[in-house]
């Protein structure tokens, strides 16, 4: 089939299109309406239908005569030197045990469960168990520290937190429990229970009456039978926090039915999934890729999925390729930063493995530069498929749907609009749609297709105000990315329109980092900008004004505050001290000008600057 026809059908007759796609998953009760868009921009998909993500990911494959004995989850840790493989049947047992444990701790349908875990199998069990009983999980990336965690606890108000003694990086344990205790102390919403997996990596103190040990509790629920709770398609499945323009992270809330259909659909058309094969996404469950393409997507497609804890270069830079060879991975998903890291390693590590099982490598999360893309394509000899999307959308907006047609990729472009997405580029100044090769803001006309965010958790108004605008009667969702389209419909992403930066594929809000830095007692003001970096795409760089310059505050002292509060993932690469920051006369920080100077570019229009000498200071600091 021609992709253009497939796409056209999804746009011209979305209800018929998605009705057909919905047949890719199991429904307990059929839906009565494909789409309810009576209250734009809120879209409700598959109204009245009842289904369950855990059923579609696990139970469905365990039927007699099915593939219950085949691998479902393969958890590999090069940090603890362990490999554990669970068949669909075994996963079914584990998930029911976790569901029973959660129920015994008082978790009910609709309750939130916050999961703050390293990349171990138990994290996936916990997610699937929530989905099974209709609890709403909120996974927080293990690299985040106390303050980031506290703001998420405050917003999600979990009844239960699932965590572990520690993660591990490069063989060194990273204790989670002290950070968790600090976060709970900081937050005003206190979970009544904390369930802890003790990996034996770091000592833990327990809070009497609140903290529960997984080992002891699981013994009481070994062969538990917990039936699936059938959920109306539009009930929430999870909340995943993401950074935006303000310091307060947004809880991206997703539904059940639409998400299951979007994943089943994208696994088929984008990732060419085949039940029984193996999928390997190198992301983390703390990010959206981990939700969609480590846990739910591959399992919904009946594939084995690999969860990997460790670095791409330890014990040696061949580790990922050894995994591909051993488990006959057919589809792999990673990020450009990881490929850039691997490119710096001796090529023998990749070449000594038999990678003949691999059919394609998918890359997402940040712009894919041509050098990286061409290098990895040559090394692997398989198609490299860039895909552009966001936490908010849950699955690709732009890419190439190889499962429909073998459309060629184009260097530097993530591809064309994916089915279901009415993508447009808008000229901000005129409010008109851009012509070919004209730069504009990448927007999507509502309704968003199935699988995209339903709302901001607990704050419908913030969802509307943040993302949507009414342009001549059309409700348009903003991605906050600049883009341009060529004459053939291929898009090119040109960076964010807001103050979000992208470090190694991780999305960080500069406001969040600024708020953390100003909590240092000797910092009065700070500006954080994203600066281009050869490996990580971007890094954060801070310019801070000290209250007392003679007090001996060092760059490391400021970095330590960020490490402690937000986690090392948000630590600026450099902190420079200045006595003035470039601002407009109305007091708005000129972050774009600072960024331009850091990247050796022209700082742009400075007619509104209050004091031009402030820019001089930035230049001087960088010398």
Q: Which residues bind ligand AMP (CB under 6 A)?
A: 242, 288, 364-368, 386-391, 414, 479, 481, 493, 496, 502, 507
Q: Which is nearer to ligand AMP, 502 or 516 (CB)?
A: 502
CB of 505 to ligand AMP, least distance (A): 7
Q: Give least dist CB 497 to ligand AMP, A.
A: 9
- Specify the residue, 6 or 482, whose C-beta has the smaller distance to ligand AMP: 482
Burial environment of residue 473 by CB neighbours within 10 A (0 to 12, 13 to 18, 19 or more): exposed
CB closer to ligand AMP, 162 vs 289: 289
Nearer to ligand AMP, 212 or 377 (CB): 377
> How far is the CA of 604 from the CAs of 399, 527, 538, in angstroms?
32, 18, 20
Nearer to ligand AMP, 166 or 385 (CB): 385
DSSP secondary structure code for residue 298 in this structure: H
Task: Go through the chain and tell me how many residues it has.
Answer: 623
Cβ proximity to ligand AMP, 289 vs 342, nearer residue:
289
For residue 205 the two structure tokens come to 């103190």
Cβ contact 180:194 at 8 Å? yes
β-strand partners of 541:
529, 574
Q: Are strands 440-445 and 474-485 parallel, antiparallel or unpaired?
A: antiparallel
Give the nearest distance from C-beta 259 to ligand AMP in angstroms: 15
Encode burial over 337-362: b for 16+ CB neighbours within 10 A, e otherwise: bbbbbbbeeeeebbeebebebbbbbb
What's the closest the beta carbon of residue 492 comes to ligand AMP, in angstroms?
9
Q: In whole angstroms, give the CA distance from residue 280 to residue 277.
A: 10
Residue found under tokens 């008082």? 106
- CB of residue 100 to ligand AMP, shortest distance in Å: 33
Q: How far is the CB of 252 from ligand AMP (least distance, A)?
A: 8
Pick 131 or 364: Cβ nearer ligand AMP = 364
In whole angstroms, how close is the CB of 243 to ligand AMP at the nearest point? 8
In the bound state with ligand AMP, the residue whose beta carbon lies nearer, of 176 and 491, is: 491
- CB nearer to ligand AMP: pick between 230 and 482: 482
Please name which of 418, 382, 127, 481 lies closest in space to residue 269, comparing C-alpha atoms: 418
Label residues 10-40 b or e (16+ Cβ within 10 Å = b). bbeebeebbeebbebbebeeebeebbbeeee
| DSSP structure string for 146-212 | HHHHHHHHHHH--SEEEEESEEEETTEEEE-HHHHHHHHHH-SS--SEEEEE--SSS-----TTTEE
Nearer to ligand AMP, 37 or 482 (CB): 482
Residue 74 C-beta: closest distance to ligand AMP, Å? 24
Cα–Cα distance measured from residue 435 to residue 451, given in angstroms and rounded to the nearest whole number? 29
Distance CA 609, CA 535 (A): 33
Least CB distance to ligand AMP at residue 493 (A): 4
Query: Does residue 564 sit in helix, strand or coil?
Result: helix
Kindly tell me which of 221 and 422 has the beta carbon lying closer to ligand AMP: 422
**Shortest distance, CB of residue 127 to ligand AMP, whole angstroms?**
18
The H or E element containing residue 377 is helix 370-380
> Closest distance between ligand AMP and the C-beta of residue 425, in Å?
14
CB atoms within 10 A of CB 316: 12
User: How many C-beta atoms lie closer than 10 Å to residue 85's C-beta?
Assistant: 15
């Amino acid at each position: 089939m021609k992709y253009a026809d497939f796409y056209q059908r999804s746009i011209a007759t979305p209800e018929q299109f998605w009705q057909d796609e919905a047949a890719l998953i199991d429904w307990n009760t059929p839906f009565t309406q494909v789409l309810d868009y009576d209250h734009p921009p809120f879209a409700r998909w598959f109204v009245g239908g009842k289904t369950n993500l855990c059923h579609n990911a696990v139970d469905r494959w365990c039927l007699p005569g099915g593939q219950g004995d085949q691998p479902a989850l393969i958890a590999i840790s090069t940090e603890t030197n362990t490999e554990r493989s669970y068949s669909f049947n075994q996963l079914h047992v584990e998930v029911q045990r976790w569901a029973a444990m959660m129920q015994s701790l008082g978790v009910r349908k609709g309750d939130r469960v916050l999961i703050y875990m390293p990349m171990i199998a138990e994290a996936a069990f916990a997610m699937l168990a929530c989905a099974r009983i209709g609890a709403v999980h909120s996974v927080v990336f293990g690299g985040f520290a106390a303050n980031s965690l506290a703001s998420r606890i405050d917003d999600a108000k979990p009844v239960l937190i699932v965590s572990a003694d520690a993660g591990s990086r490069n063989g060194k344990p990273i204790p989670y429990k002290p950070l968790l205790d600090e976060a709970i102390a900081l937050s005003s919403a206190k979970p009544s229970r904390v369930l802890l997996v003790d990996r034996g990596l770091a000592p833990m103190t327990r809070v009497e009456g609140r903290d529960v040990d997984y080992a002891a509790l699981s013994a009481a629920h070994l062969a538990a039978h917990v039936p699936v709770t059938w959920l109306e398609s539009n009930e929430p499945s999870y909340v995943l926090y993401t950074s935006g323009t303000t310091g307060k992270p947004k809880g991206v809330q997703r539904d059940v039915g639409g998400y299951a259909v979007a994943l089943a659909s994208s696994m088929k058309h984008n990732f060419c999934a085949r039940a029984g094969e193996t999928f390997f996404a190198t992301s983390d469950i703390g990010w959206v890729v981990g939700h969609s393409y480590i846990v739910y997507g591959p399992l919904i497609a009946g594939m084995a999925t690999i969860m990997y804890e460790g670095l791409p270069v330890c014990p040696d830079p061949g580790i990922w390729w050894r995994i591909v060879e051993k488990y006959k991975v057919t589809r792999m998903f990673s990020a450009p930063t990881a490929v850039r890291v691997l490119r710096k390693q001796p090529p023998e590590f990749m070449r000594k493995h038999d990678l003949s099982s691999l059919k394609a490598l998918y890359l997402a999360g940040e712009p894919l530069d041509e050098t990286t893309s061409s290098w990895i394509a040559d090394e692997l000899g398989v198609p490299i498929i860039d895909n552009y999307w966001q936490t908010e959308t849950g699955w690709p907006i732009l890419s190439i749907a190889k499962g429909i047609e073998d459309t060629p990729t184009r260097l530097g472009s993530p591809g064309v609009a994916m089915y279901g997405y009415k993508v447009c580029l808008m000229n901000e100044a005129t409010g008109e749609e851009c012509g070919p090769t004209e730069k504009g803001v990448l927007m999507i006309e509502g309704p968003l297709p199935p699988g995209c965010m339903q709302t901001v958790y607990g704050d419908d108004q913030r969802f509307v105000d943040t993302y949507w605008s009414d342009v001549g009667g059309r409700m348009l969702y903003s991605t906050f990315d600049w883009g341009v389209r060529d004459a053939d419909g291929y898009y090119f992403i040109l960076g964010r329109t807001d103050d979000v930066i992208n470090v190694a594929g991780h999305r960080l809000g500069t406001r969040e980092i600024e708020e953390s830095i100003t909590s240092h007692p000797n910092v009065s003001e700070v500006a954080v900008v994203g600066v281009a970096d050869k490996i990580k795409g971007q890094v954060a760089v801070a310019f801070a004004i000290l209250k007392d310059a003679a007090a001996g505050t060092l760059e490391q002292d400021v970095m330590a505050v960020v490490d402690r509060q937000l986690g090392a993932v948000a630590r600026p690469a450099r902190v420079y001290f200045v006595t003035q920051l470039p601002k407009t006369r109305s007091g708005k920080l000129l972050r774009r000008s600072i960024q331009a100077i850091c990247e050796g570019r022209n700082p742009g229009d400075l007619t509104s600057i209050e004091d031009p000498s402030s820019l001089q200071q930035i230049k001087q600091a960088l010398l």
